[in-house]
Structure 1
């Protein structure tokens, strides 16, 4: 593991020196340092004359050598009530019960001087919060170090039972240097009727953010509901070109994606909530007499009809069931894992393919899917991977940031899903793209919990600095509650090489505010504000602008042999809002996953086994998509996703298989055209349509993306038989390409000598 502190390399030292200069008004043309990026944010700007810095803190040893941008937040009453500002999920809402008004965007200079940037630019107010009230969140500094983007909501109710239609919107600020005027401009052409949060800049000047906007902007589906509590959720990460208004959803995340960042390799790194399971509100209504009154619509269309109550069919039930293979264990899933994708949304996967086996390890019981198959295991084989810091299944890693002086080393907060405000222990993990999941190690970076709490206090938003130091929000409380403070601290390192809280970076920022809800009189808070979501104001090297990956050699050889022009194929996929997925061998599975069947064979074809035990025939590959068709009659607004078979007319028909399936070829391979920009999952099924191996998470592909998986639940290093990753030229891709060419040849426009007619969209 890379040491926490080390001497800066010459390139890092150069960046460090530039970062100091960038925070000073004496650096003309600082925006030109590094790669040039467009600045097309247009809209109404508010600025004032630069105000002098205020509230200078005492001198601190090892204090940050660059300016720190952060936000203040009026503490949520009760600490971390369900679905509020600091919660693990559903923290994006702008209501007064979720996000109290009264915080600001602040900057702290290296000498401890503070500026209230939003107040300087004409936003925010003291006392009773009204039309000018604001809350602020999640700033990100541009690569040039001269501007930043953040989210802000404006307005609070003016009376009892009052309401505000305010939404979190994106704003950009300039004038971060001393003696510069702070100017705040609303980002143009962003979705205005939805909550847009967690913004950041791409390498080439676009903006990424998360939003609760429905996948394609269908207002009648709003809000999208998560798979757990049927609570409004973020729907995914979006990419916006402010100059043209082009808006694309990069990943359709049915239960939300959080705190994205771009690492030094150009990857978008984020936390995603994986909760792919049956609807517990529906199951409870069917089996336990709950009163949610769930029902399905016939489709996502605005004029869809109600079609009654349908039990979910994918994945396994949340209660034990019986199948031709015996008893099937009840399935639940609840993990906040690190994910990655390229900046155009392609190649979405867990970070370096890390899965629940490598993350959860021996901490949690991972029961076998088929309970009567003794060849399957209820435990994880720890010898398969290096990680020994095991993450509970009802929590995960939040607020991930890369160490700028040790590329490929990341810090985050290991927290549980409820009641902690995503405050807890700091963990460190290695995740450079050269590693696979078996080589990744999660380790303690601050003292671990013990005795029912965190005796050393709790951290949030770890910020590794260009100097090699660390800053984080901190409360000394062992448990998080309504009276917990959150102050920015310089972190020290103790004798066990663990981060511990050092000196506070501010003297404390106090405020007295009041606000209306439905009570007879306004609520009031007077005291210290939370100091959270710090970022360093520093010049950084712009990462590479990652995009569509190349087609691997085995698949490229098939395209070449079949006379397929890759560019023409991709253009056709884009025009039909489709992607292409290929698996080389569905019988080959990662050696670490022994909870699902791994003795697999295609009838009359490929076979991969290990040891004794039942051998399962797999004949079809069924793909399901997340359709927003579940609703409730109990006052829950919005739609929840349900896994339903995909329907893509361009695929070969497969009458012997279940809906949404393609045939598994004799060599174990599969290939299918699939909907783009839609969460997908899949399973292999036997000749009779009975599921055998099920996927556990959703995955999104982009239009024109050609995605290859070597095996089912792709191998990290070896498959269950100890063999390396398959390299066969997939027979199923060859058959699909021949089918596609026939579609093109049979199109009427081709016979007439004009442009090929494209098959209809799914």
Structure 2
């Protein structure tokens, strides 16, 4: 019997244990600080202990795929702890009746714990916990145990803690990184599929086709109201609510073609350089997202974005550079999921050190490698585990770590990005040194910076400066401990005093194939400060801008009626004022743009090629990519998201009168450069700007999510942070495309029935393999390779 079906029995047993333990004195579970422990903190620190896991691919400490509950991903034997200001420690889960003190971690009371977050009142906390471990060798009954969310009260030194499972959460899925919203909704990440369909589980990432969380979710535990705030094809991680009420999180941005599919493609010409090792993955496409979708093994076409750089067989005789894309950047959304974008409209051009141009035959386009002057002199590759400094609102600390080998540990960085600061004026600060790993003075590696209310800074630290070098399951070369940071004479910060003397445990658990043993110091992870603080403002979608409101009024449309229609049909409305405007620092994609017989925006210092833009092409993220593994013909569970031409029935019908090309989702650009389109909500979307025959010009590099009823506007595609390529400030024109779209929509509503709401499982557009005909130097690029567009919010 699967473990999850015995949940009632487990709950009753745990409740009985908790009842018995609740009569024990709270002091029984408090450990006094050792005499050598003189570190005094202003407030208690909540944290977890974790059995070390050497493997660093989709395990508990990994940069991605760390949400899994299988025994090889997270051992059992960790606990939720609190460290009081005087140094005393209390094992909270043990005091509440959970966990096994020592020895074999087996049965329903074996636990692992992660991700505590403190309520605004400072009197309770929420965290994720997994229950259950095998009782004997080859016991697979708990392999599908999942992380679930729990609340704990009674955090005081002389109180007995009580742990309660959060009601109405997705019961069959991993729910991790929970936090409290300003209105006490719970915001968290989960591997629940976008629409809850079991046959789409798990969502597989865009890199390794490994299971990932599907995005950021919001739950009202009292009513069970569950909302997907952000759909992320490769995953979102560790959300927080900042002092301005924004949800800040790390998103894995990896929108590129499937590297496993590239490896699977036969290469009769010898120019596919994606699979030198000869590996096979068995990738293929389902015909749609339904459970009964047809498929043909080996059929794996993709339509967006352009091929990766190793696919020279597809790039030969084109003007395309090849596209590889992989980063973990800070993102923000409102608490209702609207207005999603990279933090303060930041992007690669502000944060990265190298960006390739998209076309090889336009001398205006250049690779960026740091040669151009910019405000931020300190590049980063990634930013994990973000926390805001309570003393300096808008200052965010995070970790710049590599993807593999260091358990998401690296160097501490910070940046100041309150809502009023433009991306062109944000600078990264290197808090810890960037010295190489072979430096004898290397300070070690850091995770999870935590700014405290007294101005000090805690971190999770290991003295190891290299990659994980452990030689079995739990014998890690890393010893993660929570330390204060101290500033050195060179201005960089290093690990100072530890907040504990080390928490040790002797334990074992079944893998379930093997008996895993551990006797030593546990990892200390996920520190948070226990203190009361005001709840931030509850952020929601802003009021409609004046230019857009003017068009709504001129069309004779009631805004409330329009938004109700959007909600009922699971749609949003995307509006761009002038697609010819580009950011003044992007020289990697075309920037001299013109609408035929309409507006143009040109860089006076770089005249060069002028590109005609006539349509904005939308793509929706559909879970179509399946795989069988190396040597089988039976599909594995789950699917990867790939881009498909916009085909959502409600969106297509509502857009019908303005679609330049219905099968490929291209919306006409108006003479003033504006575009407006109905788009599906709560599904990852992307887009590109094309010429009149569908040839791509400017290509979006990120996935975006819209909310039902959201009317999302932006001044321009790939909008300027401060000024556009001609030195202009962002435009404020009333978008004519919105007027035209609303007039057509109003006519539909007067003459036709309301569009039927989109089904939970939407059929998918036909997938056509991309061809690469030769393009002449200086001409626009190949049809099908349609360069990215920056629409409402993200950047570059």
TM-score, length of structure 2 as denominator length = 0.86
Matched, 1:631 2:608: no
Matched, 1:127 2:127: no
Which residue of structure 2 aligns with residue 187 of structure 1? Answer: 166
Report the CA distance between 1:758 and its aligned residue. Answer: 3.9
Residues 64 and 469 of structure 1 are in contact (CA less than 8 Å); yes or no, is this contact kept in structure 2?
A: no
Choose from 556, 578, 590 the match for 1:563. Answer: 556
Which residue of structure 1 aligns with residue 175 of structure 2? Answer: 196
Residues 660 and 668 of structure 2 are in contact (CA less than 8 Å); yes or no, is this contact kept in structure 1?
A: no
Which residue of structure 1 aligns with residue 432 of structure 2? Answer: 446
Q: Deviations over 1:535-591 (max 9, x none)?
A: 000001110011121111111111122222211111110000000000111111111
Q: Deviations over 1:276-328 (max 9, x none)?
A: 00011111101456422221111111222115513211011013477899420
Residues 344-493 of structure 1: matches in 2 within 5 Å?
344-360=336-352, 363-364=353-354, 366-379=355-368, 385-392=374-381, 396-452=382-438, 455-481=442-468, 482-493=476-487
Which residue of structure 1 aligns with residue 541 of structure 2? Answer: 548
Residues 37 and 501 of structure 2 are in contact (CA less than 8 Å); yes or no, is this contact kept in structure 1?
A: no
Residues 115-194 of structure 1: matches in 2 within 5 Å?
115-125=90-100, 126-131=102-107, 132-163=109-140, 164=142, 165-194=144-173
C-alpha distance in 2 between matches for 1:109 and 1:495: 31
Residues 62 and 469 of structure 1 are in contact (CA less than 8 Å); yes or no, is this contact kept in structure 2?
A: no
Residues 50 and 182 of structure 1 are in contact (CA less than 8 Å); yes or no, is this contact kept in structure 2?
A: no
Note the residue ranges of structure 2 that are not aligned, 5 or more in a row.
Answer: 1-10, 267-274, 469-475, 630-634, 763-796
Q: Secondary structure at the match of 2:217?
A: strand
Matched, 1:277 2:244: no
Choose from 292, 296, 308 the match for 1:303. Answer: 292
Q: Deviations over 1:397-418 (max 9, x none)?
A: 1110000011111111110111
Which residue of structure 1 aligns with residue 65 of structure 2? Answer: 90
Residues 321 and 329 of structure 1 are in contact (CA less than 8 Å); yes or no, is this contact kept in structure 2?
A: no
Report the CA distance between 1:381 and its aligned residue. Answer: 6.8
Choose from 464, 478, 494 the match for 2:488. Answer: 494
Which residue of structure 1 aligns with residue 507 of structure 2? Answer: 513
Report the CA distance between 1:50 and its aligned residue. Answer: 4.5
C-alpha distance in 2 between matches for 1:601 and 1:501: 55
Matched, 1:650 2:654: yes
Q: Deviations over 1:459-517 (max 9, x none)?
A: 11111000111111111111242221011112222223322111111111000111112
RMSD: 1.9
Q: Deviations over 1:582-606 (max 9, x none)?
A: 0111111111111111111111111
Which residue of structure 1 aligns with residue 233 of structure 2? Answer: 254
TM-score, length of structure 1 as denominator length = 0.90
C-alpha distance in 2 between matches for 1:188 and 1:170: 9
Note the residue ranges of structure 1 that are not aligned, 5 or more in a row.
Answer: 1-41, 749-756
C-alpha distance in 2 between matches for 1:679 and 1:58: 55
C-alpha distance in 2 between matches for 1:302 and 1:603: 45
Residues 358 and 588 of structure 2 are in contact (CA less than 8 Å); yes or no, is this contact kept in structure 1?
A: yes
Q: Secondary structure at the match of 1:358?
A: helix
Q: Secondary structure at the match of 1:151?
A: strand
Q: Deviations over 1:618-656 (max 9, x none)?
A: 111110011001101226431001100112211034355
Report the CA distance between 1:522 and its aligned residue. Answer: 1.1
C-alpha distance in 1 between matches for 2:663 and 2:342: 28
Q: Deviations over 1:105-136 (max 9, x none)?
A: 00000000000000111111121111111000
Q: Secondary structure at the match of 2:550?
A: helix
C-alpha distance in 2 between matches for 1:200 and 1:760: 32
Which residue of structure 2 aligns with residue 65 of structure 1? Answer: 42
